[in-house]
Structures are given as C-alpha cells and as structure tokens.
Amino acid sequence: MAIAVFLNPSLGGAVSYQNTVMFGLVFIKWASVFMLKRIAILQSNYIPWKGYFDLINCVDEFVLYDDMQYTVDDWRNRNRIKTKQGVQWLTIPVSKKGHLSKKTSEIKVVDERWARKHWASLANAYAKSAYFKEYAECFEALYLHKASKLEYLSEVNYLFMSEIINTLGISTKIRWSSEFELGEGKTERLVNICTQAGADVYFSGPAARDYLDQEIFRREGINIEWMDYSNYPEYKQPHGDFEHAVSIIDLIFNTGSEAVRYLKSFGAQ
C-alpha cells in the first residue's frame, strides 16, 4: 500500500515519499519488537508447577541450567499434589553421597520403586478428576516403563517436562547449559549463555531481582524482562480450598485440553 502511494504522482511526490519512508520506519520498529530473541534459563524441576511452563512458552529458547550446584529441599527432585488429606509432597529419592558439591546433572536417582509409588499417589489423588482417564495411560507409561529406568535426576525431569510441553502444545526450543561455554560468575554465566545463543532478551522469574547484576546484561546489550506469576485464574480443583502451588499435572488432570486457558502466555499470543 505504501509503495502504491509513492508511485501515484497525483498525490505529490515529496509527500508520498515521506509517507512511504515513515511507514517503513514504523513497520521496521514494530517488526523488530516481535523479532527479538527471548531466552530463559532455569534448572530442571520435577513435574513443575504451571508457572514454569508459562515461562517456557514466553521465550524462543529455554535452557536447562543443570550445570549449577544441586540444591536440597528444593524443586529439583520433588513437587506437590492435592489429595483428600491435603497437599502432599512427591519426592524422588536421590543419592546423598557428596550431593552438596555436585551439579544437578550429576545427581543419581536411587531405588527405582519411587516411580511406582508416585504413580499410585497420583492415581489415588486424581482418579475422580474430570480428565484423569484421558491422560492416565500416558503418565502411567512414563512412570512405570520409562522414568523408573533412568539413572539421573536430570533425565527424569526432562522426560516429564518434554511430555508436558507436547501436551500443552508448546513449541519452544529446549537446550542444555552444557552446550555453552559458561565461564565464571553467577550473572556472567547467564550472560554468556545469552550471548552465545544470540539472545536479545533474558526472561527471568521475579525472584532473580534480588541477586542478578542487571548492569552486566546492559553492557552486553541484553534486555531483561520479568515473569509475573500473580493473578492466575482458578479452575475446578477437588479437595478443599484452591491451591496454585502444585504440579501442573493437577491442572492437566482437572482441565484437560483447556489447561492452556489457565496459562497467561497463551492468552497473550
């Protein structure tokens, strides 16, 4: 349309040219906003909550940061579900030999019976949920025939994360921090991943505001955007008062294919 105006002499060559240039600059600025490459970097978690997948869906690439030191009593090897007795933790047993000095990627799972126990707990908690039967076969197979055979915690977390991403229809590219030259320094490592991945924007959870050196990102020309985990809509959830801080499996079993309606990023697309 802008070119057609430029070629029409009845509208005045100079004005038409200015309009064309103006339109082009506006279009380039508008397009550049949507062409910015966004990246997020987080450690793998066991069957994470909905906010974890919401963040993944907000970016072009998501890097699993399992080269970081393993943290105990955290989300790496455990998460929560709702039961008749209240919120229940599901914890994967891991080797504690030297675990405080190991990377998450080096943590080994012990006692393969955990998988059968976790599936039994999930089936007991969600058997009457509206969409449990629709997804039960898939998750049962993951637990009993795949997860139980994996040696490392990172492998288990990736297995479930990949299946849930597919279930939600998320197309974000997943990478591992081991693919990058990390260097030293807490913030510097993140910046190095961003620069090597060609990122324009680092997308982060709000808790990182307390320790992230934002100036280092600015010097490299990388903008920081913050995920907002507030004001998630509630859905029909059994067993008492609504609880947001549970595994996304709760959302899937209770809402089925409508699960994406309860994630902010899908509404923004």
Domain segments of the chain: what residues?
2-35, 38-268
pLDDT 10s digits, 187-236: 999 999 999 999 999 999 999 998 999 999 999 999 999 999 999 999 99
Give residue 169's pLDDT. Answer: 97
Higher pLDDT, 8 or 6: 8
Confidence of residue 31 (pLDDT cuts 50, 70, 90): very low
Angle between helices 248-255 and 153-168 (to 10 degrees): 30
* Backbone angle region of 40, left / alpha / beta, with phi > 0 → left and psi within -120 to 50 → alpha: beta
Mean pLDDT of the chain: 89
Mean pLDDT of 40-54: 98
Give residue 98's pLDDT. Answer: 84
DSSP state of 145: I
Q: Which amino acid is at 108?
A: K
Q: pTM value?
A: 0.86
Angle between helices 248-255 and 132-141 (to 10 degrees): 140
Is the confidence at residue 24, as pLDDT, over 90?
Answer: no
Is the confidence at residue 18, as pLDDT, over 70?
Answer: no
Which of 6-10, 116-120, 238-242 is the most confident on average? 116-120
CA distance 164 to 167: 5
